[in-house]
């Protein structure tokens, strides 16, 4: 039985998932070949793919002697999980604190300001 999916992907796992999200299906050899530097050994990619499968991020089907891997988790869902992890770990479960930090630390173009205003207008107001 696969163990429970980890909350976030490691940097190493994310590199492999990026290949699968872009290709939909790939063998270990294809993932290895598609990686940008720094390159990884075939056995390292194989071990990581097995770990991703145990975590519930990928599945596989047999294609002759090779396994073809495919993502079970959408990129957007993995991103949401990572953001939730950051919010819980660094912002005491306050998405508002994260938003304030992000908006306070970067200069915004007028087009970005407008998009943020429009988003805020569409959001329901919270309780006082």
Domains, the chain: 11-71 (1.10.10.10), 83-122 (no CATH)
pLDDT confidence of residue 97:
93
pLDDT tens for 112-123 read: 999 999 998 998
pLDDT recorded at residue 63: 85
Name the token pair of 56. Answer: 């519930």
Q: H-helix or E-strand containing 122?
A: helix 110-122
Mean pLDDT, all residues of the chain: 91
Torsion of CA 73, 96, 11, 37, to 10 degrees: 100
pTM, rounded to two decimals: 0.76
The confidence score (pLDDT) of residue 72 equals 97
**In the numeric block, which tokens belong to residue 120?**
């805020």
Q: What is the pLDDT of residues 6-55, one digit of tens each?
A: 568 999 999 999 999 999 999 999 999 999 999 999 999 999 999 999 99
């Amino acid at each position: 039985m696969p163990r429970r999916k980890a909350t976030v992907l490691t940097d190493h796992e994310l590199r492999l998932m990026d290949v699968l999200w872009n290709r939909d299906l790939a063998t270990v050899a294809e993932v290895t070949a598609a990686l940008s530097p720094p390159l990884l050994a075939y056995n390292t990619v194989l071990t990581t793919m097995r770990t991703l499968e145990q975590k519930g991020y990928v599945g596989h089907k047999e294609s002759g002697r090779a396994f073809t891997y495919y993502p079970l988790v959408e990129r957007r869902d993995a991103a949401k999980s990572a953001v939730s992890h950051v919010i819980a770990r660094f912002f005491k479960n306050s998405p508002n604190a994260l938003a304030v930090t992000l908006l306070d630390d970067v200069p915004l173009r007028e087009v970005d300001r407008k998009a943020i205003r429009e988003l805020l207008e569409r959001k329901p107001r919270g309780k006082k």
